[in-house]
């Protein structure tokens, strides 16, 4: 697949990070030569200096043969114009634009995005997507991943099997007998695999279960995962992500006390002017005085969302040593993983996974309602819809030709979860929950394309 990415900043880099793992032909366009050089050193991609919205630059980037344009510069207008140029002059099939301005995102202007007006197939706001992902983790403490599916009726949740987890050394078939939500996937020692009946759960496994929304906390309790509510939250870094988090939490009684620490005076002032009940603390995040002012020792949870990975990981480490029970760190790269353990109470949120998950429905050539990246190189989970024209209707699962690295882990049918066997038949209207490892991506796309 030939992909043109406009923008070599944090968002562009995170997209390159994920898409370069597959067999994609990627070219990155940006006006900043230094950013392009840094990107080319780290990833096997082509680069081109120039503005992605200029027709001549897009022609040099090979837009005539491109499958997708992803415009993610820091300028909304440039991204939208780039999509228009890609559509009008080069007939690029898929156009994705990053839009951050609340004016462009206002639901009142949804009709703006159409072939007759601005031909954008998908509008994404990475900061909003990241904030939403963090909010899900805040609302369900003890989880490492929270993926809403089927219009929020189902949730795929992940959690670590720690020292207190009652699942250690228990076989999967025994777990299925005891719990309504059996384990359907495991990540262990940076390897992602489908569970077998005689497989045992081991210490530090990250296990995934599919559960109905109203049964999430009961399910976690059954598995021995502590889910004490977080009342006091400290956020490190003042930006669009922290603003969105605080703005939502002010309307929600989940968090009763929220503080944001930010060193920049203007940013801190702007946050204070736009938030009503959130305490804004201006000062150095690593300062003992500032941390005391934020009452870090009384916090139940901390979230670090600056643009600097080391700052996020270090502040989370300090928060843990100060007694904070749960920490969340936003990272652009896993290069500093050794600074903090990614366990059930120390969560690392990767910008690339969240950002790319928001685009998977348009990136994959399959009838997908929703999709998420599990972890870097660990595969994806797809919510696949079965329409009346699907070639898979009426077939048993064993008959549709799934590759070894792809599995239908559950079927949502008539408001019920089915954990199918190879003999189960696929019916019109089914929603399939499909796990796809990288090696099976192309074959799975072919199977679920129609």
Per-position DSSP letters for 379-409, written without gaps between them: -EEEEEE--TT-TTTT-BGGGTT--TTEEEE
pLDDT given for residue 102 in this prediction: 53
**Residue 301 clears pLDDT 50, i.e. is over it:** yes
Q: How far is residue 192 from each of residues 136, 341, 365, measured CA to CA in Å? A: 23, 18, 23
> How many structural domains are present in the chain?
4
Q: Judge if 270 and 286 occupy the same domain.
A: yes
Query: 437 and 330 share a domain?
Result: no
This prediction's pTM: 0.86
> Mean pLDDT across the stretch 255-265?
90
State the pLDDT confidence band at 409, using cuts at 50, 70 and 90: very high
- Asked if residue 129 is part of any domain, the answer here is no
426 against 107, higher pLDDT? 426
Is 306 found in the same domain as 248? yes
- Which domain does 309 fall in, by range? 232-355
pLDDT at 67 over 80: yes
Question: What's the residue count for the chain?
Answer: 450
331 falls within a domain: yes
Per-residue pLDDT reduced to its tens digit, 210-245: 999 998 988 888 787 876 777 899 999 999 899 999
Domain end position, chosen among 355, 389, 416: 355
Q: 298 and 392, same structural domain?
A: no
Same domain, 202 and 236: no
CATH code where residue 71 lies: 3.40.50.720
Domain membership flag for residue 302: yes
Residue 134 within any structural domain of the chain: no
CATH number of the domain to which 373 belongs = 3.30.70.1450
Using a pLDDT cut of 70, give the percent of the chain over it.
Answer: 93
Average pLDDT of the chain to the nearest whole number: 87
The model's confidence at residue 38, banded by pLDDT at 50, 70 and 90, is very high
Q: What is the predicted pLDDT for the residue at 30?
A: 96
- CA gap 357, 98 in Å, rounded: 14
Residue 414 CB partners (closer than 8 Å, separation 6+): none
Looking at the structure, do residues 241 and 194 belong to the same domain, yes or no? no
Closest CA to 257 of 267, 265, 246, 268: 246
- 26 and 110 co-located in one domain: yes
Q: Average of pLDDT values for 384-413?
A: 92
Q: Over 70: is that where the pLDDT of 295 sits? A: yes
- Regarding whether 321 and 398 lie in a shared domain, the answer is no
Q: Is residue 136 a part of any domain in this protein?
A: no
Closest by Cα among 75, 74, 125 to 243: 125
Q: Choose among 210, 305, 302: nearest CA to 257.
A: 302
Assign 107 a pLDDT band (cuts: 50, 70, 90).
very low
What was the pLDDT predicted at 114? 53
In this prediction, residues 86-114 reach a mean pLDDT of 71
Residue 135 located in a structural domain: no
Q: Averaged over 160-176, what is the pLDDT?
A: 81
Tell me: do 347 and 367 sit in the same domain: no
pLDDT tens, 319-355?
Answer: 999 999 889 999 977 665 555 555 557 888 988 889 8
Residue 390 · residue 446 · CB < 8 Å = no
Where a domain ends, among 222, 256, 291?
222
* Buried/exposed 60-86: b ≥16 CB within 10 Å, e otherwise: ebebeebebbbbbbebbebbbbbbbbb
Residues 283 and 336 in one domain: yes
Residues 67-78 have a mean pLDDT of: 92
Alpha carbon 216 to chain centroid, angstroms:
20
Quick one: 169 and 269 in the same domain? no
- Is residue 119 within 8 A of residue 83, CB to CB? The reply is yes
The answer to whether residues 245 and 328 belong to one domain is: yes
């Amino acid at each position: 697949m030939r992909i043109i990415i406009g923008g070599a900043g944090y968002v562009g880099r995170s997209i390159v990070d994920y898409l370069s793992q597959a067999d994609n032909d990627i070219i990155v366009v940006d006006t900043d030569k230094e950013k392009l050089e840094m990107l080319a050193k780290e990833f096997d991609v082509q680069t081109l200096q120039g503005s992605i919205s200029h027709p001549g630059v897009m022609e040099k980037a090979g837009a005539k043969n491109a499958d997708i344009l992803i415009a993610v510069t820091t300028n909304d207008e440039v991204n939208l114009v780039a999509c228009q140029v890609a559509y009008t002059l080069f007939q690029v099939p898929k156009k994705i634009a990053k839009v951050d301005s609340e004016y462009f995102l206002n639901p009142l202007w949804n009709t703006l995005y159409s072939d007759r007006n601005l031909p954008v197939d998908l509008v994404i706001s990475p900061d909003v997507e990241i904030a939403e992902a963090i909010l899900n983790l805040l609302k369900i403490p003890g989880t490492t991943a929270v993926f809403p599916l089927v219009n929020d009726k189902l949730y795929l949740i992940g959690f670590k099997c720690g020292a207190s987890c009652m699942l250690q050394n228990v076989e999967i078939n025994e777990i299925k007998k005891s719990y309504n939500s059996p384990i359907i996937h495991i990540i262990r020692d940076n390897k992602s695999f489908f569970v077998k009946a005689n497989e045992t759960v081991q210490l530090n496994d990250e296990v995934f279960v599919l559960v109905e929304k109203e049964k999430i906390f009961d399910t976690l309790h059954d598995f021995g995962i502590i889910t004490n509510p977080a009342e006091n939250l400290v956020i490190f870094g003042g930006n669009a992500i922290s603003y969105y988090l605080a703005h939502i939490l002010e309307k929600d009684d989940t968090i009763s006390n929220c503080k944001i620490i930010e060193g920049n005076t203007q940013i801190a002032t702007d946050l204070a002017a736009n938030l009503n009940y959130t305490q804004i603390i201006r000062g150095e995040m690593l300062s003992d005085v500032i941390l005391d002012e934020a009452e870090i020792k009384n916090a139940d949870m901390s979230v670090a969302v600056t643009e600097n990975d080391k700052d996020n990981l270090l502040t989370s480490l300090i928060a843990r040593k100060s007694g904070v029970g749960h920490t969340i760190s936003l990272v652009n790269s896993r290069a500093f993983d050794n600074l903090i353990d990614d366990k059930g109470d120390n969560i690392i949120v990767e910008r690339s996974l969240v950002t790319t998950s928001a685009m998977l429905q348009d990136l994959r050539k399959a009838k997908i309602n929703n999709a998420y990246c599990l972890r870097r190189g660990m595969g994806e989970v797809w919510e696949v819809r079965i329409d009346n024209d699907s070639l898979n209707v009426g077939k048993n699962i064993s008959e549709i030709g799934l590759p070894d690295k792809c599995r239908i882990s559950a079927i949502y049918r008539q408001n019920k979860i089915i954990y199918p066997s190879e003999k189960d038949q696929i019916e019109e209207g089914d929603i399939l929950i499909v796990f796809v490892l990288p090696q099976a991506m192309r074959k799975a796309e072919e199977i679920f394309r129609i």
